[in-house]
Amino acid sequence: MVSKVALLTAGGFAPCLSSAIGGLIQRYTALAPDIEIIAYRYGYQGLLSGDYLTVTPEVRAHADVLHRFGGSPIGNSRVKLTNAKDLVKRGLVAEGVDPLKAAADRLTADGVDVLHTIGGDDTNTTAADLAAYLHENGYELTVVGLPKTIDNDVIPIRQSLGAWTAAEQGARFAQNIIGEHNSGSRMLIVHEVMGRHCGWLTAATARAYRSWLDTQEWVPGIGLSRDAWDVHGVYVPEAHLDLAAESDRLARVMDEIGSVNLFISEGAGLDTIVAELEESGEEVVRDPFGHVKIDKLNPGAWFAKKFAERLGAEKVMVQKSGYFSRAARANLADLELIRSMTELAVDCALRGEAGVIGHDEEQGDVLRAIEFSRIKGGKPFDIDEPWFVELLAGIGQPVTEKIAAH
């Protein structure tokens, strides 16, 4: 019997968090209005510290408003419950305390029967660790996760929440940035898109941007040319980059058009950049999950420097769309996906079925509660996808070889 439910959002933002919270509240209110709902503030940080908001009748009555906003009204943080050293350092647990036990005891003390986690692979693998601990130690609590990541890289989930919106918003961002291509002669514009290990978002953003180009009228006689506004190179972590060959190709574009526009995944070339830094003795900063802090490395600037030298660029601009995109409100496609997933999440919770809600690519794309043990991050983007091959052909970029070990 479920009497109390807790929600939390964690990891980086995505254009689905606010709406997912609203959807869960609406579904519980429709099916089981007597169930108490609380929301831990700042993700697992709030869970460990006992910091939560209570969902009041007024909030329930206005839960639909949450669909109109991005961000997360209850806040996020990056906390790994198996990284005790980091949690002690941050004052979230005392020395010698098992964070998983601390979390389990807090949930018990708060009377929680169901915990909904809304996050990406790190959030849900942390939820998996917690769910396993609860099961192994006799805690009666069900954990049901929702997959949030603009990278769309959760195994084995076909489509994560917020990714479609992030691509659409990244394309909108690019419309203004690429408008700068005539702000100087021989202009190089690098649009850096989020995606640590997976190039899906970079590719989908480029596709969405070029779809926008298809809807526009052009006046080449006065310099308003589609060629100048187009994407000239798309680089993702899953594909080898022949810097010399691409530089030769792009130099011809620069000579002909007078500018070059590149869409680059922040994870493209990351291993090379890290190796260069470590070889020079510089510190590579990492987060609690052991991931390199990409914002400290500036991959876009690295690529810009490499290409600018080879293209004879006279002016260079590097712009990042990630923070513009990830806190946007969900678009219609994501709202429908959120609706279907939150409804199933509540249904599963009420019958005590744990897992992460998603279309299971390994079981015929059926929407179901996927076992936590099967949830992993780092799903690579398939650069052989027909739409991506068509995209590269459309911009004159050769299809590159896959990085086999990715």
d(CA 343, CA 71): 21
Q: 127 and 117 in contact (C-beta within 8 Å)?
A: yes
Beta bridge partner(s), residue 154: none
Q: 188 and 259 in contact (C-beta within 8 Å)?
A: yes
287 as an active site residue: the answer is no
Instruction: For residue 310, count other CB atoms closer than 10 A to its CB.
Output: 15
Q: What is the token pair recorded at 348?
A: 């599963």
Place of tokens 């099916």: 31
d(CA 250, CA 239): 17
The secondary structure element, H or E, covering residue 7 is strand 4-9
Question: Active site residue: 113, 121, 122, 151, which one?
Answer: 151
String of DSSP letters for 332-362: HHHHHHHHHHHHHHHHHHHTT--EEEEEEGG
Which of the residues are catalytic? 151
